[in-house]
Amino acid sequence: MRGAAAPAPLRGAKEARDAVTLARLLRGTLTPLRGDEVLALLEPHRPRLVPKPINPLAAMLGQPQGRLLEALLRPTAPIILDVLLPRLRDHLIDRIVHNKGSAEDGLPSALEVAGALRALVALLRGAGRGAVLSVVSAIEADARADADRLVRGETPNTSANDDPANATSNVMDGLAHALLRFEARRLMLEALGATVALRDVVYQSRRLTRHALRRAAEAMDGFGADRGIKALHASLATLASVDGLLVVALRNLDDQEEHREEANAFVEPADRKAMNDCLSAAWRLSDTLFDLVGKAANGGDLDELLFEALLRQLRSLHQFCTDLDHAGRPPVLDTLERRLAERIRALAGLSGERLVGTILARPADPAKARRLLARGQSLAQLLYDMGQDGDELEALALRLVVARDALNHAAG
Phi, psi of 197 (to 5 degrees): -65, -35
Respond yes or no on whether the N-terminal peptide bond of residue 331 is cis (omega within 30° of 0): no
Contacts of 99 (CB under 8 A, 6+ apart): 181
Average of per-residue pLDDT across 373-383: 93
CA-CA distance, 1 to 12, in Å (whole number)? Answer: 32
Percent of the chain with pLDDT over 90: 63
CB 57 within 8 A of CB 29: no
pLDDT digits (tens, 9 = 90+) for 52-97: 999 999 888 889 999 999 999 999 999 999 999 999 999 999 999 9
The pTM score is 0.85
Half-sphere exposure of 114 (CA within 13 A, CB side): 24
Rg (CA), the chain: 31
Answer yes or no: is pLDDT of 115 > 70.
Answer: yes
Angle formed at CA 90 by CA 88 and CA 92, multiple of 5 degrees: 65
Which pLDDT belongs to residue 153? 80
Instruction: Select from 198, 197, 199, 213 the least CA-distant residue to 252.
Output: 213
- Cα separation values, 21 from 26, 115, 405, Å: 9, 11, 74
How many residues make up the chain in this entry?
A: 412
